[in-house]
Structure 1
C-alpha cells in the first residue's frame, strides 16, 4: 500500500525493503523451530537468510543512487562482491570449513570493502555530489547503519567462536547478539527507505 504514496522511481526500492523484512520474518520462524526442537544454533538457516537479505540491502544502496540519476553498474557489483566475501568467510569459519580466525578475518575484509565503497568509493562520491538533501541524509544514515549496526555481527561471531568460555554460554551469546543485530539493522533500513521515498515524492 505504501508504494502507492511514492513516485515511480522509489517503488522498486520500497518493495525491496519490504521483501527484506518478509524474508527475514519467514526465516526467523524456521530458526525458532530449530532452536526449540534441537537446542542447536540455526547457522545454516541464518546464513540462508543473510545470503538473501544482505545482498538486497546492498541493492538498496544502488537503488537510492539510481533514483538520483545515471549510476555505474560497477557500484552494484562491487557491493555484491564485498557482501559475498563477508558472508562466505563468516559461514566457512562458523561451520568449520576453515579456521575460525581466518573466517573472521575474511568476513571483516569483505565488510571493510563495503565500507570503503559507500564512504570513499564511487557510491559515496556520487551521493555527495549529486543527491538532494533528503537522499544525502538517508544515504548517510544507511552508511552509519552498515558501519555501527553491522559492527554488532563481528561481536556475535567473536563471543560465539573466538572468546574462551562455556560452549553453551557462547552459543547463547551468539544467538542473542545476531538476533539483536538483525532486528535493528533490517528494520532501520526499511524505515529509512520508506522515509526518504515518501519525503522525496511528496516534495514534488
Structure 2
C-alpha cells in the first residue's frame, strides 16, 4: 500500500494538518488551565476543552478523507459542527447563569436556532447540484444565524449581561458575540465561494478550516481569559 504523505503544494491538506494540531494543543491547554479557574468558570473551561477536543477528533478524519480522495469531508464537518456549535451556545448560557437566574427558554431558543442553521447548511451542501435548494437553505440558515445575533445583541441574553454582568463576564460575553458575528461570518463566505459560479472546493475547505481555527480556539481563549481573571476569582471567593 502506498504511504500517504503531505504534499507541500497541497495547501488544503496543510491547513487540515495545522488545524488538527492546533485543536489538540488548545484542548490540552484549556483542560490544564481549568485548575486555575474557580466556581462555575471551571465548567465553562471544561466546555471549551470539549469543543476543541471534539473538533480535533473530526479533523483527524477530515484530513484523511482529503488526503485519500481529494473530496470535501462534508459529513464529518457537519457532524463536528452539530456537536460543537450547540456547546458554544451552552457557553453563552453558562456565562449568564453564573451571574443571574436565567430562564431555560433562552437556552432552548438559541439552541434551536443553531441547529436550524447547521441542518440547513448541511442539506444545502449535499444538494449542491440543485441551485434552488442550495441557496434556499442558505437563506434559511443565514436567517437562523441573524436571530442568534439579535438575541445576543438586543434580546434577553444581551439585557441580562448588561444588567447583571460582572467585569469579567461582560468582557467574555462581548468578545464572544463579536466572534459569533464576525467570526461566524466566515462560514457563509466559504459557502458562497465554494458553490457560487461553479464553486471552488479547495477554497471552501481552506475558509472553513480558518473559520474553525478562529471560532473554536479563539472562543475558548476568551472563556479562559475571563475564567482566570482576578475579577472572576475574587467574585467566586466572596
Q: What's the TM-score bracket when you normalise by the shorter of the two chains?
A: over 0.9
For 2:87 and 2:94, how far apart are their aligned partners in 1?
10
Q: Which moved more, 1:54-63 or 1:66-75?
A: 66-75
- Quote how far apart the aligned CAs of 1:2 are: 1.9
For 2:106 and 2:220, how far apart are their aligned partners in 1?
21
In structure 1, the partner of 2:18 is none
For 2:178 and 2:171, how far apart are their aligned partners in 1?
11
In structure 1, the partner of 2:39 is 8
- Quote how far apart the aligned CAs of 1:116 are: 1.0
- Quote how far apart the aligned CAs of 1:203 are: 3.1
Structure 1, unaligned stretches of length 5 or more? Answer: none
In structure 2, the partner of 1:122 is 156
Distance 1:173 1:45, change over 3 A: same
In structure 2, the partner of 1:25 is 56
- Structure 1 vs Structure 2 CA RMSD: 1.3
Conserved in 2, the CA contact under 8 Å of 1:90 and 1:107? yes
> Aligned to 1:108, which of 133, 142, 152?
142
Cα offsets for 1:168-201 (capped at 9, x unmatched):
xx10010000000000111111000011011134
For 1:151 and 1:4, how far apart are their aligned partners in 2?
33
In structure 2, the partner of 1:38 is 69
- Quote how far apart the aligned CAs of 1:92 are: 0.7
In structure 1, the partner of 2:225 is 195
For 2:40 and 2:122, how far apart are their aligned partners in 1?
35
Scaled by the length of structure 2, the TM-score of the pair is: 0.81
- Quote how far apart the aligned CAs of 1:10 are: 1.0
Name the larger-Rg structure: 2
Scaled by the length of structure 1, the TM-score of the pair is: 0.94
1:173 aligns with 2:203: yes
Structure 2, unaligned stretches of length 5 or more? Answer: 1-31
- Quote how far apart the aligned CAs of 1:87 are: 0.3
State the SS of the aligned residue for 2:53: helix
State the SS of the aligned residue for 2:57: helix
Q: For this pair of structures, how many residues does the alignment match?
A: 200
In structure 1, the partner of 2:175 is 141
> Aligned to 2:194, which of 160, 165, 184?
160
Cα offsets for 1:60-107 (capped at 9, x unmatched):
000000111211111110110110110011011000187111111011
